[in-house]
Amino acid sequence: MTITFDSLLSEITDPNGREILDPATGEVVGKARFEGVEVLDAAIARAKAAQPAWAACSDEDRAGLLLQAADAIDAATEPLAELLSREQGKPLNGPNARFEVGACATWLRATATTELPVQVLLDGDEGSAEMYYRPLGVVGAIGPWNWPMMITVWQIAPALRMGNTTVVKPSEYTPLSVLALVAVINSVLPENVLTVVAGEGDLGARLSSHPDIDKLMFTGSTRTGQSIIKSSADTIKRLTLELGGNDAGIVLPDVDPKAIAEELFWGAFINTGQTCAALKRLYVHTDVYDEVCTELAAVARSMPMGRGLDENNVLGPLQNKAQYDIVANLVERARESGATILVGGTPDADAPGHFYPTTLVSNIAPDNALVTEEQFGPALPIIRYETVDEAIELANGLDVGLGASVWSSDRDAARKIAARIQAGTVWINKHGGIHPMVPFGGVKMSGYGLEFGVEGLKSVSAPQVISG
């Protein structure tokens, strides 16, 4: 049966549920049923009861079902992308809605085909010892509103592959996307192996304290991550936390500004800047500062912003009014400080939706709030520096460390600088690129734990040594 947007929406919409609005127009996208803690508790109980049978399936069988789930997502790409665009705001084209849905299938396939063999630790006169990785039990997953489908798959795919059952709590801003994604995946999975319960923040708090949740995966703010750490302490729950970022980029004086301008732009403005590992503060050497600003501004002016269902647009609105206000306030404070607004900075107050124009800010002090606070939107501060040591000190000066980048025509020199930057990932001549086989995670207040690849499988498993 062909899945259409209307059929998909009707499957997940509750006539008595909460209205979810399109951030581009304010129109109602659908209605999501928001549940209470008692419904979540019942879902966890069902997941716990289903877990032994799921763990008893062969690894080959579980991997095969994940591959079938990827095929099911492929078959539903267009309705899933349309729903995502309407609910989250991101355009269909560019590195946006269709890209995100495609990434869900890609990550499922990569996770299904990643091998985690038994590790032989000793095998000789001293004896034998082997390391196995066993299921933990029930894994809870709390996702964000910026990449709601893709990040949910990052969380659930390795958990399911390793024999855990999972309970998902989506963001209250983007529940429909995750409800639809789970409905598609569940068309091939056994009952109660994967469950989604939409609701308010009290559900997340319950997941982090519930004694039958053995592992919790969370992507979101550092403040919420701190609360999760505290509330999970009594049950000594395993955690993977991907928290706030404020990624730095360092541009060396040997670059060709025109050649790197578009990569710089997408490093900062992918998903209209609403990405944890986006480039959020750009340090440029004084020798190329003006030219980098000029070339980056030219790219920014060429990128169309508007409603996501318009095939021509590649930038969309901010997903919610609260985030819009954060961006607008930070840019206004930068303007008042004497910084130069190169592009943007003046939203149309009468236009519908949460659109904030693509904004570049130059001649800004390193301690300005737009630099030191994560804006999480389409506004990039460009800071001038004189020496590489100064740039590294500024890049490392904040309490976050998710990603960073170095831009140079000399790759060896860039790698040496990268080694001095305090971040979980440092990219060379790009920013934010991820791969399902390359581990990803932050340092400092950006969280702990790794996702993706072999390390991602290990993170949702209990290591067991058999020695004899």
Query: Domain of 303: which CATH number?
Result: 3.40.309.10
Pairing of strands 359-362, 340-343: antiparallel
**Nearest residue to 330 (alpha-carbon basis) of 347, 314, 317:** 347
Same structural domain, 294 and 360: yes
> Helices in 381-468 by DSSP H: which ranges?
388-395, 411-418, 453-459
What pLDDT, in 10s, does the model give residues 124-175? 988 999 999 999 999 999 999 999 999 999 999 999 999 999 999 999 999 9
Q: How far apart are CA 261 and CA 265, in angstroms?
A: 6
Q: How far apart, in Å, do the first and last CA atoms of the chain sit?
A: 54
Q: How far apart are CA 396 and CA 124, in angstroms?
A: 47
- DSSP secondary structure code for residue 31 in this structure: E
CA atoms within 13 A on the CB side of 429: 15
Same structural domain, 135 and 157: yes
- The answer as to whether 437 is a domain residue is no
- The answer as to whether 435 is a domain residue is no
What pLDDT, in 10s, does the model give residues 249-305? 999 999 999 999 999 999 999 999 999 999 999 999 999 999 999 999 999 999 999
pLDDT at 226: 97
Residue 56 pLDDT > 70: yes
- The answer as to whether 338 is a domain residue is yes
Q: How far apart are CA 237 and CA 215, in angstroms?
A: 6
Decide: 105 and 73 in contact? Cβ < 8 Å: yes
Q: How far apart are CA 164 and CA 193, in angstroms?
A: 8
Q: How far apart are CA 248 and CA 395, in angstroms?
A: 6
Pairing of strands 165-169, 194-196: parallel
What pTM does this model have?
Answer: 0.96
Same structural domain, 288 and 216: no
Same structural domain, 210 and 283: no
Which strand (E) or helix (H) includes residue 372? Answer: helix 369-372
Same structural domain, 97 and 199: yes
Q: How far apart are CA 422 and CA 404, in angstroms?
A: 8
Same structural domain, 156 and 293: no
Q: Domain of 130: which CATH number? A: 3.40.605.10
What pLDDT, in 10s, does the model give residues 332-355? 999 999 999 999 999 998 889 999
Same structural domain, 204 and 74: yes
Same structural domain, 238 and 257: no
What pLDDT, in 10s, does the model give residues 349-408? 888 999 999 999 999 999 999 999 999 999 999 999 999 999 999 999 999 999 999 999
Average pLDDT value for the chain: 97
pLDDT at 2: 85
Same structural domain, 129 and 77: yes
Q: How far apart are CA 90 and CA 67, in angstroms?
A: 27
The tokens describing 422, both together, are: 């305090």
Same structural domain, 232 and 254: no
What pLDDT, in 10s, does the model give residues 212-237? 999 999 999 999 999 999 999 999 99
Q: Work out how many domains the chain is built from and give that number.
A: 2
Domain of 98?
Answer: 5-243+446-467
Q: Torsions phi, psi of 356, nearest 5?
A: -115, 130
- The answer as to whether 439 is a domain residue is no
Q: Which residues pair with 140 in a beta bridge?
A: 167, 216
Same structural domain, 186 and 51: yes
pLDDT at 1: 65
Same structural domain, 40 and 62: yes
- The answer as to whether 330 is a domain residue is yes
Percent of the chain with pLDDT strictly greater than 90: 98
- Catalytically active residues are 242, 276
